[in-house]
């Protein structure tokens, strides 16, 4: 695509995403637009050595989408943190973004992350729910990085807190009544981010949060190393499902670029 066409495409994409991805409409265009916008920001990130812009853009669009969602059926409220006791995963740029924040929070926070990692490092996605353990960034039942939390945490929602209190603490096998809007929203943004990461030549997998945070904290110049192509999260557990094993995801990728 020549520069003129790219500029026009960018304007169209910005207009499509003015209020974030609209999940009510069964329309693939916003996901493709989001993937292109994120890809462009990731390419700029490679040059300026910071993941901040793509992650802030992602977070702002998710916030916009969530603002438009009907919240009456949600049981979630400040101080309710059952979903912070299970497996949490996030993509590499989200982890790098959070790692910079926790480093600024100081040695006590970093120590908490190391302790949590020691307790959870042997559990994969399937077994982790049997061993509930609070996220190290949870303080007095409130997320200490709320405005910067990973996308997976933004879409953790439920219509029934009592079911959460049993299911997330390994007291029952009940399914969490997650609103459809949140399931669809989570899928849409995960797909757009995975497409952008793949196109930019990065791993698009979501890594286990505690292990990946420790790796980012312990790696010299982690952000610059990752942006220059070093696989700094190599060997860390990822979610077992590969998003691109689905034909729909492959089609979205082809259509976006
Ligand atoms: S990052 Fe925040 S919202 Fe996510 S699991 Fe940890 S404490 Fe909960």
DSSP letters spanning 173-189: -PPP---HHHHHHHHHH
* CA of 130 relative to ligand 1 center, distance in Å: 18
Q: Report, as an integer, the average pLDDT of 171-196.
A: 95
**Ligand 1 nearest-atom number relative to CA 142:** 7
For residue 208, tell me if it sits in a domain. yes
Relative to the CA of 138, which ligand 1 atom is closest? Answer: 7
CA 115 – ligand 1 centroid, Å: 16
Pocket of ligand 1 from Cβ distances under 6 Å: 84, 88, 135, 137-138, 143, 145, 149, 153
Residue 53 has pLDDT above 90, yes or no: yes
pLDDT value for 3 = 82
- The answer to the question of residue 126 being in a domain is yes
Tell me which residue has tokens 């969490």: 176
Closest Cα to atom 1, ligand 1: which residue?
149
Which residue range(s) make up the domain with 159? 41-256
In a domain, 194, yes or no: yes
For a ligand 1 pocket test, name from 66, 82, 135 the mutation site with the most ligand atoms within 8 angstroms of its C-beta.
135
Which of 76, 81, 88, 147 to mutate to test ligand 1, by most ligand atoms within 8 A of the CB atom?
A: 88
> Taking 90 as the threshold, does the pLDDT of residue 71 lie above it?
no
Catalogue the long-range contacts made by 38-47 (C-beta closer than 8 Å, 24 or more residues apart): 38/192, 38/193, 38/195, 38/196, 38/197, 39/195, 39/196, 39/199, 39/200, 39/256, 39/257, 40/10, 41/196, 42/93, 42/196, 42/197, 42/200, 42/202, 43/200, 45/93, 45/227, 46/200, 46/227, 46/228
Average pLDDT value for residue range 186-204: 97
Rounded to the nearest whole angstrom, what is the distance from the C-alpha of residue 193 to the centroid of ligand 1? 20
Q: Domain total for the chain?
A: 1
What pLDDT, on a 0 to 100 scale, did the predictor assign at position 22? 83
In this prediction, residue 212 carries a pLDDT of 98
For residues 198-218, average pLDDT: 98
Element holding 249 (H helix, E strand): helix 247-256
- Nearest atom of ligand 1 to the alpha carbon of 145: 2
Does 114 fall in a domain?
yes
Question: What is the Å distance from ligand 1's center to 149 Cα?
Answer: 6
Q: Is residue 4 part of a domain?
A: no
Measured CA to CA, the distance from residue 155 to residue 62 in angstroms comes to 9
Mean pLDDT of the region 158-187? 95
Could you tell me if residue 30 is inside a domain? no
Residue 240 has a pLDDT of: 87
Residue 11, in any domain of the structure: no
Q: Model-level pTM greater than 0.85?
A: yes
> For residue 70, what pLDDT band results from cuts at 50, 70 and 90?
confident
Residue 207's closest CA among 152, 135, 139?
Answer: 152
75-93 average pLDDT score: 97
Q: For position 57, what pLDDT does the model report? A: 98
Query: Which one of 149, 151, 156, 157 would you pick to mutate in the ligand 1 pocket, going by the greatest count of ligand atoms within 8 A of its CB?
Result: 149
Hunting for tokens 């400040």 — which residue is that?
A: 78
Q: Which of 4-13, 64-73, 217-226, 228-237 has the lowest mean pLDDT?
A: 64-73
Q: Is residue 29 part of a domain?
A: no
Does 24 score more than 80 pLDDT?
no
**Mean pLDDT across 146-152:** 97
């Amino acid at each position: 695509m020549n520069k003129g066409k790219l500029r026009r495409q960018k304007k169209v994409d910005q207009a499509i995403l003015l209020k974030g991805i609209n999940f009510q409409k069964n329309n693939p265009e916003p996901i493709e637009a989001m993937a292109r916008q994120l890809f462009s920001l990731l390419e700029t990130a490679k040059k300026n050595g910071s993941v901040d812009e793509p992650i802030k853009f992602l977070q702002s669009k998710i916030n916009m989408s969530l603002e438009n969602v009907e919240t009456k059926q949600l049981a979630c409220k400040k101080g309710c943190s059952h979903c912070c006791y299970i497996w949490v995963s996030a993509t590499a740029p989200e982890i790098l973004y959070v790692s910079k924040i926790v480093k600024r929070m100081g040695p006590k926070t970093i120590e908490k992350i190391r302790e949590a990692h020691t307790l959870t490092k042997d559990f994969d996605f399937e077994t982790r729910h049997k061993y509930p353990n609070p996220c190290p960034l949870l303080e007095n039942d409130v997320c200490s990085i709320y405005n910067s939390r990973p996308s997976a945490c933004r879409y953790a929602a439920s219509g029934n807190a009592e079911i959460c209190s049993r299911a997330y603490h390994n007291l029952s096998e009940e399914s969490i009544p997650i609103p459809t809007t949140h399931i669809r929203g989570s899928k849409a943004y995960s797909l757009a981010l995975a497409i952008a990461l793949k196109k930019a030549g990065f791993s698009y997998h979501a890594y286990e949060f505690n292990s990946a945070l420790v790796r980012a904290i312990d790696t010299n110049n982690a952000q610059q190393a990752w942006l220059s192509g070093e696989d700094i999260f190599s060997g860390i557990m990822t979610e077992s499902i590969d998003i691109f094993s689905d034909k729909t995801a492959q089609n979205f990728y082809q259509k976006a670029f």
